Amino acid sequence: MRSAPTILHLDMDAFFASVEQASKPSLRGKAVVVGGLGPRGVVATASYEARIFGVHSAMPMAQARRLAPNAAYLVPRFALYRSVSEQVMALLAALSPLVEPLSLDEAFVDLEAGGTAWDERSARLAGQKLRADIRDESRGSPGRWGSKNSKMLAKIASEQAKPDGLVLIEPGTERALLEPLTVRTLPGVGPATGDHLRRAGIHTVGELAEAGEDELVRLLGKAHGHALFAMALARDERPVVAERETKSVSVEDTYDVDIHDRVRVGTEVRRLADRCVRRLRAAGLSGRTIVLKVRRYDFSTLTRSETLRGPTDDPAVVREAAGRLLDSVDTTGGVRLLGVGVSGLADYTQEDLFAQAAGRDAGDTPYEEDETAHTPEREAPAERRWPAGHDVRHSVYGHGWVQGSGLGRVTVRFETPLSEPGRVRTFRVGDPALEPAEPLPLVPRVPGEKEDVGAGGGADAESS
Q: What's the rounded Cα separation, in Å, for the pair 464 and 259? A: 38
| Terminal alpha carbon distance of the chain | 66
What DSSP string describes 306-368? Answer: EEEEEEE--HHHHHHHHHHHHHTS--TT-EEEEEEEEEEEESS----HHHHHHHHHH-SSPP-
105 marked as binding residue: yes
Of 30, 35, 37, nearest in space to 51 by CA: 30
Rg (CA), the chain: 25
Residue 163, preceding peptide bond in cis (omega within 30° of 0): yes
Which distant-in-sequence residues (6+ apart) come within 8 Å of 197 by Cβ? Answer: 183, 189, 203, 208, 219
379 is catalytic: no
Of 355, 268, 373, nearest in space to 315 by CA: 355
Q: What's the rounded Cα separation, in Å, for the pair 12 and 144? A: 6
DSSP assigned state of 343: E
Q: What's the rounded Cα separation, in Å, for the pair 103 and 350? A: 30
CB distance 104 to 34 below 8 Å:
no
CB distance 268 to 253 below 8 Å:
yes
195 marked as binding residue: no
Determine which one of 20, 49, 100, 106 is catalytic. Answer: 106
Question: Would you state the torsion angle of the CA atoms of residues 93, 99, 102, 108, taken in this order, to the nearest 10 degrees?
Answer: -110
CB distance 340 to 276 below 8 Å:
yes
CA distances to 38, 101, 142, 245, 269 from 408, in Å: 18, 43, 37, 47, 30
HSE toward the beta carbon, residue 287, CA cutoff 13 A:
28
Query: How open is the CA angle 70-76-82, to the nearest 5 degrees?
Result: 135
Of 236, 234, 229, 126, nearest in space to 172 by CA: 234
- Residue 160's DSSP bridge partners are none
Residues with a catalytic annotation lie at 106
Binding-site residues for Mg(2+): 11, 105
Binding-site residues: 11, 105
